[in-house]
Each structure stands twice: as structure tokens, then as C-alpha cells.
Amino acid sequence: MTDLASHTGHRDRLREKLTSAGGLALHDYELLELYLFRCIPRRDTKPIAKDLIARFGDLGGVAGAEVRELTAIKGVSERVAADLKLIQPLAERLAREQAIGRPVITSWSALVAYCRTAMQHATTEQFRVLFLDRKNKLIADQVLGEGTIDHAPVYPREVVKAALAHEASAIILVHNHPSGDATPSQADIEMTRTLMEICKPFEIAVHDHLVIGRENTASFKTLGLM
């Protein structure tokens, strides 16, 4: 059997496995193989997929990697890297659709899943605000600060301004810790309390502050910090 025929047979078997058993039946590298089939049609993509997972840890790590990091992997051109960068916004959009327009109380897990999808693998710190209406439904979200690996500037006036622009009755604060540890810092606690005080005169409630780590998520409300 020629190499091309062998690769074609392998691809057909993977597609059949996906169709019959679903995505959970496939390893991360196998799902990545299936994606790479479209980007590199006449090449064995299994070694490339395995190298990507070995380097970045999982699919989220691959999707969150910079183009220069991706092209350092043998077989990944700039065009292929650009295709791989599509995974992250697609995943974010799908996760957001599960949370937008739904009451927070009934979609909390979907909301956290969206935040993790959007921020878990970011290499720099981001500060995001989720805006809720009077029925506590998510109506919008916005990144209001981006910074270094351990700091993102937060301007309380900008948070209030954005909340008023969205006619939000409540907000949920979210930021990530690229270091991996989701434990809130003292600076996080002080900033949250400052924002809560500034929001009070505008009758904007701060429901929670989530810290997204690589493996877990910390909730200020659950931890009794607010």
C-alpha cells in the first residue's frame, strides 16, 4: 500500500470513529489530526498533531499559542498556523452562545465555561467584564484591560462607563492568572472592593469576581471575599 493510500485509509477510519462514537472517543491529537487534514491534505498529519500536543499540552494550548510558536513545530507553515488560530475564536463563539441571553442563576456553569474558554490559555493577563440586565441575563461582555503576564490595568471609571452604556444593572468581573494559580491576590481583593464602592452610587451591583487559572477557577463570592 502506498503512503498516500495508507494516509487516506487512516483518515477515513478517524472520520468514521468521529461519526459513530463522537468527539469524546478521540484523543486530542486525533481531533487535531482531523482538523489538520483540511489544512495539509496530502501529508501524514499525525506526527504534527502529536508534536503540537506535546509542546502545548492540549487543544486549548495549541489554539492559544502565538503564530511564531506554532511555526516552530516541524510541518506547521504560517498558513497552517493561521488556520489553527481559528480554533480559539470558534470555541469562544460557541461557548458564548451557551451563556448569552440566559439568566446567570440557570447558566452559571455555561458562563464559567465561556470565561475559561476565552481566557484560560491567554499568555497575558486580561480583565473582562460581563454585563447583566435586570433579570440577571448576560447581555454583553467586554475586555477592558490587557497587560503583562501578571498585571492588567483596570480603570474603574471605564468599567462604570461601559456598564452604563450597556444599561447593565449588574456586572461580573473576570480576570485570568497566566501563571496558572487562580488564588486571588491582595491587589485583586482591594481592586474589587474599590470597584464595588464606585458602582454603588450608580446602582450597579457587582455579583462576583472570577479568577481564571489554568486548571481551576476561583470565585470571590464563594471564597467570602465580597
Q: How would you write 56-118 as a 3-class SS string?
A: HCCHHHHHHCCHHHHCCCCCCCHHHHHHHCCHHHHHHHHHHHCCCCCEHHHCHHHHHHHHHHH
Residue 102 has pLDDT above 70, yes or no: yes
Query: Between 156-165 and 186-199, two packed helices, what is the crossing angle to 10 degrees?
Result: 50
Residue 196 has pLDDT above 50, yes or no: yes
Residue 106 has pLDDT above 90, yes or no: no
Condensed to tens digits (0 to 9), the pLDDT of residues 44-62 reads 889 999 999 999 989 888 9
The dihedral over CA atoms of 186, 192, 194, 199, expressed in degrees to the nearest 10, equals 180
Tell whether the torsion through CA atoms of 150, 156, 162 and 164 is positive or negative: positive
d(CA 174, CA 11): 40
> Beta strands of the chain (E only): which ranges?
126-132, 138-146, 170-176, 205-212, 217-219
Q: Residue 1 — pLDDT band, cuts 50, 70, 90?
A: very low
Check residues 203 and 19 and name the one with the higher pLDDT.
203
Q: What is the pLDDT of residue 55?
A: 95
Q: Where are the domains of the chain?
A: 3-85, 98-219
Check residues 4 and 37 and name the one with the higher pLDDT.
37
- Cell numbers describing residue 79: 498558513
d(CA 104, CA 110): 9
% of the chain at pLDDT higher than 90:
55
CB 217 within 8 A of CB 211: yes
Q: What number of other Cβ atoms are within 10 A of residue 18's Cβ?
A: 15
> Residue range 161-177: average pLDDT?
96
Residue with cell 506547521: 76
Mean of per-residue pLDDT scores for the chain: 88
98-219 folds as Cytidine Deaminase; domain 2 (3.40.140)
Query: What architecture does CATH give domain 3-85?
Result: Orthogonal Bundle (1.10)
Residue among 203, 139, 213, 144 at smallest CA distance from 173: 144
Q: What is the pTM of this model?
A: 0.80
Q: What is the pLDDT of residue 6?
A: 58
Q: What is the pLDDT of residue 189?
A: 93
Q: What number of other Cβ atoms are within 10 A of residue 64's Cβ?
A: 20
Check residues 10 and 167 and name the one with the higher pLDDT.
167
Q: Between the CA of residue 61 and those of 35, 52, 70, 96, 193, what are the distances in Å?
A: 15, 9, 11, 19, 33
Name the amino acid, one letter, at 149: I
Residue 184 has pLDDT above 70, yes or no: yes
Residue 159 has pLDDT above 90, yes or no: yes
